[in-house]
Structure 1
Amino acid sequence: MPLPEGQGITSRGVFCRVFINVSRETHTKMIAVIDYGMENLRSIRNALMMVKIAHALTIVLLSCVFAQYVVSLQCVWLKKRSV
Structure 2
Amino acid sequence: MHPRLQERAAVLADMRARTFMATTEFYEKIGRPAPPQGPRFQAVAKGKAWHVIEISTGLTKGFCFSHRAAMRFVDAMEAGVASKRGALQ
TM-score interval, smaller chain = 0.3 to 0.5
Give the structure with the larger helix fraction.
Answer: 1
Give the structure with the larger strand fraction.
Answer: 2
Normalised by the size of structure 2, how large is the TM-score?
A: 0.34
Bigger RCO of structures 1 and 2 (CA < 8 A, at least 6 apart): 2
**Radius of gyration: which is bigger?**
1
